[in-house]
Structure 1
């Protein structure tokens, strides 16, 4: 079985974004270089060092934890010198300039990747070379973590007690806040959930929507008998309260999935926590890696008698490099 991320340095991600730099006061822009941090955890670490709320730091997308990543962040409410003086192990901040607007989710155009795939043989390499086709645009495993989709479903189903019970497990700061809140307010599970930052809470609902999308795409692909390259790259709905199902086959597929999950589109309106209500959207069935470069086969110094190869490619925002690697080796 192939291996990626055997070392953090084996998986390098660089965000593609065009910053709007101005010559007046505004939001400070920094390139955040990190290793073995989720984007959220890195932002919280920087916020603690600067003694500001995490919401004062903006970013365009979540980057892998087990990787070396580079992305643009915006910081407000502090002078440049204080940010320049921040010192955190495995996080470096590189000044870019000043912008009149913060960096927000989705502001980037995509990401470039350099990935070392290890523990492969010559036959795996040959498959990669011949599999240069477009790839089903599945959400990757890192979207779901351990319980993200499960908690998301509970939030959508308004089962706040069960969601809070899962969320309070563990010994992190977030879990401690929930436990402390419930000790003071025994039955206020909605209040306990609200102690979690909005960005993090939305990730749970988005993870459940992503799971539903993956199921929809998987069933649609099974129904098609032509090769991937011959299939139409349709937009597949991300289920939410505003989902409009026009295509007959897509409608039938989603209806079956929703029936099995015992949910309706209206369930994505969450009146108890309105900011979690999810309208839904669309996502292309396929993604296509640009500038795909498959390097030469080399000896793998970390896995005896095995080979490794360096892959380089660019993906649009929202597409997953781990999925591309999986399909190159399929």
Structure 2
């Protein structure tokens, strides 16, 4: 029987609903405010499985170790990981395949993350002089860095422009955290930066690729104007959408949009070669489109499960359970439940990211997933992406809940940048693949996601 959708006292903003974030887990009124007024207000550091944290400053002593892969800390602000790697590749004059990293980091933050560069010399990397980033060589090793080596991310975040008194801020924060504890944890949604907040486009491009529409995917990438983009960019995209005049588009387009320039020039030289235009984008970025669409579907699956009142701390018949390792990270071992059972003892509820190998849930949750896929007009086998097979994705399972680890007591203080307002500083750790903004949205309950800095 298909479950009944419940009403919720706090409705998610429209921009969040577009990326599958349709509900909150808590009903406590938010503290409001804004994140990222300064880039330093949103700081992220990677933590590897061995406990090492990406440093912000060079360690003392020479670079040791053996092997051809140089492990480094990449410290950046004002650009995402893919853009930082693009600049590194250009400065070093090497193929991007020689650089490996464990995770993607947001542009609007100060972040420190690990990467390896094959065949690099420490003295060259440490003196590149690229604006907005610097590289700290750490040691040589025999293998490139892989995603499986990342354990967690540590966040140090300041929420500003809060209009509440100090006691009210702490009271609402405590109430939200108590509600989440009673809920079983934080819903493990994919956060805003997975899709782009200023221009939530990645999953839309991914959807068209999965459906086999390369032409539509390219048109979307070039013409879709996001709510957070500048007026010149919006004008250029709108002009192209109305006219498909690529020369005029290029004359209007700001210089910083590197990929749009390259794709438009290619289509001028080879009209109709949409496959070739899309393949100008790095493989990592093209794969991100498909993965973002899978993330959108996961968000919708999880939103509907919450909305229908199906538990997240308990498995029902047909649900997936996934085993966690000793660090609390998901493994590849999963079972499908045949009778209602509590989670725990290293087993947690998991929902699928659809793919050509990943079996959907059964039972009530399975009905939710099948209905959403029918609405989207896609099937699991479509993730073979036959129009561009290098983007094929088998799918996987993702825990439905995650438990934030608060690293220190929250601090409320007078906001020196905004007199008469308060600021809230939060320091916490999340397992790899989980998003700080998902916790922040529960705490803040923003009415306008863009103005709130998401």
So what's the TM-score if we normalise by structure 2?
Answer: 0.68
Tell me what 1:239 maps to: 354
Tell me what 2:72 maps to: 30
Judged with a 3 Å threshold, the aligned counterparts in structure 2 of structure 1 residues 195 and 225 are, in CA distance, closer, same or farther, namely closer
Tell me what 1:176 maps to: 261
**Using the alignment, how far apart are the partners of 2:216 and 2:386 within structure 1?**
18
Tell me what 1:300 maps to: 415
Kept in 1, the 8 Å contact 2:351–2:361? The answer is no
Tell me what 2:161 maps to: 119
Q: Is 1:12 the counterpart of 2:34 in the alignment? A: no
SS at match of 1:109: strand
Tell me what 1:163 maps to: 217
How many residues are treated as equivalent by the alignment?
A: 329
Q: Which has the larger radius of gyration?
A: 2
Question: Which segment drifts farther, 28-37 or 16-25?
Answer: 16-25
Kept in 2, the 8 Å contact 1:36–1:67? The answer is yes
Q: Deviations over 1:174-195 (max 9, x none)?
A: 2222223222322221122111
Q: Deviations over 1:152-190 (max 9, x none)?
A: 101111111111123345552222222232223222211
**Using the alignment, how far apart are the partners of 1:206 and 1:256 within structure 2?**
20
Judged with a 3 Å threshold, the aligned counterparts in structure 2 of structure 1 residues 106 and 5 are, in CA distance, closer, same or farther, namely farther
The within-5 A match list for 1:190-205 is 190-205=275-290
SS at match of 2:65: coil
Q: Deviations over 1:103-134 (max 9, x none)?
A: 13343111001111112223233111232222
Deviation at 1:278, TM superposition (A): 1.1
Tell me what 1:103 maps to: 145
So what's the TM-score if we normalise by structure 1?
Answer: 0.93
Tell me what 2:186 maps to: 135
**Using the alignment, how far apart are the partners of 1:192 and 1:130 within structure 2?**
50
**Using the alignment, how far apart are the partners of 1:328 and 1:23 within structure 2?**
44
Q: Which runs of 5+ in 1 are unaligned?
A: none
Deviation at 1:26, TM superposition (A): 1.1
**Using the alignment, how far apart are the partners of 1:288 and 1:65 within structure 2?**
25
Q: Over aligned residue pairs, what C-alpha RMSD do you find?
A: 2.1
Kept in 1, the 8 Å contact 2:411–2:426? The answer is no
Tell me what 2:120 maps to: 78
**Using the alignment, how far apart are the partners of 1:179 and 1:216 within structure 2?**
36
Tell me what 2:195 maps to: 144
Deviation at 1:283, TM superposition (A): 0.8
**Using the alignment, how far apart are the partners of 1:214 and 1:103 within structure 2?**
28
**Which of 411, 417, 427 pairs up with 1:312?**
427
